[in-house]
A and B are shown apart, each in its own frame.
Chain A
Amino acid sequence: MSEEKEAQSSSGTKNALELVRVDGVSFKYDAGPNVLEEISLTIQAGDFLALLGPNGSGKTTLVKLILGLLKPLAGNVFIKGRPVEEFEEWPKIGYVPQKATHVDPFFPASVREVVAMALFSRRGASLKKSKEEEKAIATALQSVGMEDFMGRPVSRLSGGQQQRVFIARAIVHSPELLILDEPTAGVDAVTQERFYEMLYQLNKQRAITILLVTHDIGVVTMHVNKVACVNQRLTYHGTHEDFCQSEAFKAMLAAGHLVSHRH
């Protein structure tokens, strides 16, 4: 890991603003077993946190609880110090869902329209975009290297390109926190590598805090500064350096829950 990343890591842990606090959260779906039990963790401003865990471990559920899409059975979630149910600054949170690239091939949305959706999600009747709004769309697409695809139908892009467009949609508001749920599923290794590098640049250059749900150990060793491991309970939460020496890491590796692409 570079010195720059280490410096960022230490500043992120020492004097950072707490963006997310998950406090003793438990959850289950209807009459099923507990999916999550007493999860507590924090995300500080500037963090690039990887959320790891085997399939069905509750990672996506935890993300949905943080976003207020599900209500915890016990415990609380706070975003920027406010209970999630009272939080209203949703444009400050960018989100790329797990199956974002499963685009309906008949949906006639252009790249520009997909990015504009998030920008205008709280706006009323006007269909005309202002110059500032056009610029915000162009800047977001530029950040992910998709500025030349503005007029293209999003359904005709490759999986990797679609993923970039969804990230542009998530960052068009200049969010403080970007949450990505397994964004590289189904994307080839080379594209994944470029993709993670792009996330690292967003974290470093635009100071966007990132929560990344992934199975990819390569990301953990190369790009993130914090790791949280979930398997119904929180099995690890700390820096990535300590994680690589931890029992949680060895257990996940032995069980084959982590994969490594070219990094």
Chain B
Amino acid sequence: MEAFFTYGFLQRALFAGIFVAVACSMLGLFLILRRDAMIGHGLAHVAFGGVAFGLFLNMMPLATALGVTVLASWAVIKLKEKAGLHGDSAIAVFSSVGMAIGILLATLAHNLNVDLLSFLFGDILAIEPIEVWLSIGLAAAVVASILINYHQLMFLTFDREAARAAGIRPQGLDFQLTVLTAITVVLGMKVVGILLVTALLVMPAAAGLQLASNFKQALWISAVVAFLSVTGGLAAAFAFDLPASAAIVLLAFSIFGALFLLRRRKRF
């Protein structure tokens, strides 16, 4: 615990990690209930291409990944509309292309592999001060967007047809949710890496769904699980010299498992 007050890199990791994980957990709740949880996984693959593109051009990889992933999220929506594809097919198309571009650029540039690995597996302990502020700012924007449209998003998620009949325009909110997912995925890849970022979106929210009897409770429990996963995971990583991303994800899974068992016990 003392280490968190002593080391600047740990404080940066903690602040950025908590903000990003809480934003992921809130967004993840809507994604799970819309059966759209794998969009995070797909966009993470696109982000890989974006990171490779940034490293290839010697630009800030987080910024290029953000631009590419947001663009891809818009394209996924358009492809679903225009090509009549189901959501998962449109995501699969872009995630494969993103991954292919990443592999191509890494091969062409020869020396990208080491940098790319840090994005694949996450490197929160090496997070730069500017990245901390970027993460906090964007995570706060994600949370604010969700809260502003809380009622509309909940209505649309619960009963899309009735929500449309009540005058809610779904296109704008769908687009917003997808773009917010793209942003959180890019932020999350610095915390746990491209390969594990879906865990930040899904596990705290899935844990929240185990115990909540109303939506607000589910949001709160998800946020608390996200907070505990990041703080506990970072502490475990520092104390036992473990990879932080794996520690965070495994702790989130443990909490989910504990709440799942608790729910079963409550029922029987």
Query: Whole-angstrom distance between the alpha carbons of A170 and B214 in the complex?
Result: 20
Q: When the two chains form their complex, are residues A96 and B33 in contact, meaning their CB atoms are under 8 A apart?
A: no
User: What is the chain A residue whose CB lies nearest that of B211?
Assistant: A108
Which of A107, A121, A125 is close to B166, meaning CB atoms less than 8 Å apart?
A: A121
Q: For the complex, is B265 an interface residue (Cβ under 8 Å from A)?
A: no
Give Cα A116–Cα B163 distance, bound, in whole angstroms.
12
Given A91-B167, A108-B214, is A120 in contact with B151 using a C-beta cutoff of 8 Å? yes
Q: Is B167 in contact with A90, judged by CB distance below 8 angstroms? A: yes
Q: A114-B158, A153-B213 are in contact. Are A127 and B165 (CB under 8 A)?
A: no
Which one of A106, A118, A120 contacts B209 once the chains associate, using CB atoms below 8 Å? A106
A151/B213 in contact, CB under 8 A: yes
Q: Which residues of A contact B214 (CB under 8 A)?
A: 108-110, 112-113, 151, 153
Q: Is A73 among interface residues, defined by CB-CB distance under 8 A?
A: no
Range for the number of chain A residues in contact with chain B: 35 or more
A169 nearest CB neighbor, chain B only: B162
The answer on a CB contact under 8 Å between B213 and A90 is no
Residues of chain B from 137 to 195 with CB closer than 8 A to chain A in the complex = 147-152, 154-155, 157-159, 161-168
Tell me the nearest residue of chain B to A125, going by C-beta. Answer: B148
- What residue of chain B has the Cβ atom nearest to residue A104's Cβ? B33
Contact A117 B151 (CB under 8 A): yes
Contact A69–B161 (Cβ < 8 Å): yes
Minimum distance in angstroms from B212 CB to a CB of chain A: 4
Interface check A97, CB cutoff 8 A: yes
How far is the CB of A240 from the nearest CB of chain B, in Å? 26
CA–CA, A57 and B164, complex, Å: 23
Instruction: Collect the chain B residues with CB atoms within 8 Å of residue A212's CB.
Output: none
CB of B213 within 8 A of CB of A110, answer yes
- Docked Cα-Cα span, A151 to B214, in Å, equals 8
Interface 9-residue window, one of B107-115, B127-135, B215-223: B215-223
Which residue of chain B has its CB nearest to the CB of A111?
B214
> B33, A93: Cβ atoms under 8 Å?
no
CB neighbours (8 Å) of A153 from chain B are 213-214
A127–B150 CB distance below 8 A: yes
Whether B167 lies near A107 (C-beta < 8 A) is no
Nearest CB of chain A from residue B79's CB, rounded to whole Å:
18
State the CA gap A112–B215 with chains docked (Å): 11
Contact call B162/A96, Cβ cutoff below 8 A = yes
Indicate if the CB atoms of B158 and A117 lie closer than 8 Å: yes
| Alpha-carbon distance between A125 and B150 when the two chains are bound, in angstroms | 7
- Pick the residue among B148, B213, B217 that contacts A124 (CB under 8 A): B148
* B14-30 with Cβ < 8 A to chain A: none
Contact of B159 among A90, A97, A116 (CB under 8 A): A97
State whether A107 and B33 are in contact (beta carbons under 8 Å apart), knowing that A90-B167, A95-B162, A127-B150 are contacts in the complex. yes
Name which of B154, B159, B213, B217 has the most chain A CB atoms within 10 A of its CB: B159
- Chain B residues near A14: list those with CB within 8 A: none
Please, which residues of chain A bring their CB within 8 A of the CB of B149?
Answer: 124
Q: Does A123 contact B (CB under 8 A)?
A: yes
CA distance A170 to B159 in the complex (A): 12
Instruction: A170 to B161: give the CA distance in the assembly, Å.
Output: 13
Nearest residue in A to B144 (C-beta to C-beta)?
A125
Give chain A nearest CB distance to B202 CB in angstroms: 13
User: In the complex, what residues of A have CB within 8 A of residue B166's CB?
Assistant: 90-91, 95, 118, 121
Task: Report chain B residues within 8 Å CB of A132.
Answer: none
| Minimum distance in angstroms from A130 CB to a CB of chain B | 14
> Which 10 pairs from chain A and chain B are nearest by CB?
A90-B167, A120-B151, A110-B214, A117-B155, A95-B165, A108-B212, A108-B218, A97-B161, A125-B148, A67-B165
Interface residues of B (CB under 8 A from A): 33, 147-152, 154-155, 157-159, 161-168, 208-209, 212-218
Interchain Cβ contacts under 8 Å between A and B, 27 examples: A90-B167, A91-B166, A93-B165, A95-B162, A107-B33, A107-B158, A108-B208, A108-B212, A108-B214, A108-B215, A109-B215, A110-B215, A113-B216, A114-B158, A116-B151, A117-B154, A117-B158, A117-B159, A121-B151, A121-B163, A121-B166, A122-B167, A125-B147, A127-B147, A127-B150, A166-B162, A169-B162
